């Protein structure tokens, strides 16, 4: 039996886990960076010219961090739809591997389902500000609308 498709599925699953873990680390990293900047701020002498700019930077970073924590939410419908697509693709790929022969041509149909599932999962599981429909609200879209 050829285990190459199963190995590819395991690699894809590990990639998803890695993306999710990396995303979780960035929020921890922001909090740690704010903490380090606060320590630097406290170590600066009172008459330092860098105190005021550093204090402004810390306050801005803290404001962004608090906003992201408060407003960030996941799109659970998108997550469940993506998982359904991934499970469907996995079942189809398992059937194709088991059947063999000319069924290998069906991978042309199964792989787009898997790709859509991976993309949808990554897009939906990330905590972000979202509109009522569950779509991400991006700051660059809002500035473009305001300018035009």
Which tops the pLDDT comparison, 73 or 25?
Answer: 73
**CA dihedral of residues 51, 53, 55, 57 (deg, nearest 10):** -150
What is the extent of the structural domain holding 71? Answer: 4-147
Number of domains in the chain: 1
The reported pLDDT for the residue numbered 116 is 92
Q: Give the SS3 label for residue 89.
A: helix
The reported pLDDT for the residue numbered 148 is 44
DSSP classification of residue 45: -
Q: Which of 64, 44, 68 is closest to 54 using CA atoms?
A: 44
Type and span of the H or E element at 145: helix 139-147
CA atoms within 13 A on the CB side of 7: 4
- Reported confidence tier of residue 88, pLDDT bands at 50, 70, 90: very high
How many residues belong to the chain? 148
Backbone torsions φ then ψ of 83, nearest 5 degrees: -65, -35
Which tops the pLDDT comparison, 43 or 144?
Answer: 43
Contact 86, 117 (CB under 8 A): yes
User: Residue holding tokens 């991006």?
Assistant: 138
pTM beyond 0.85:
no
Q: What angle do CA 126, 128, 129 make, to 5 degrees?
A: 155
């Amino acid at each position: 039996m050829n285990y190459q498709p199963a190995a590819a599925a395991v690699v894809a699953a590990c990639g998803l886990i890695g993306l999710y873990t990396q995303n979780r680390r960035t929020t921890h990293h922001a909090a740690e960076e704010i903490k380090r900047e606060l320590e630097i701020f406290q170590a600066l002498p009172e008459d330092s010219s860098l105190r005021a700019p550093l204090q402004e930077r810390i306050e801005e970073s803290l404001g962004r961090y608090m906003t992201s924590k408060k407003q960030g939410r996941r799109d659970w419908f998108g997550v469940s739809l993506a998982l359904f697509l991934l499970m469907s693709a996995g079942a189809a790929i398992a059937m194709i591997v088991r059947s063999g022969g000319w069924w290998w041509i069906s991978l042309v149909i199964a792989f787009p389902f898997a790709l859509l599932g991976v993309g949808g999962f990554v897009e939906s599981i990330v905590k972000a500000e979202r509109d009522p429909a569950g779509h991400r609200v991006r700051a660059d879209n809002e500035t473009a609308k305001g300018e035009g």
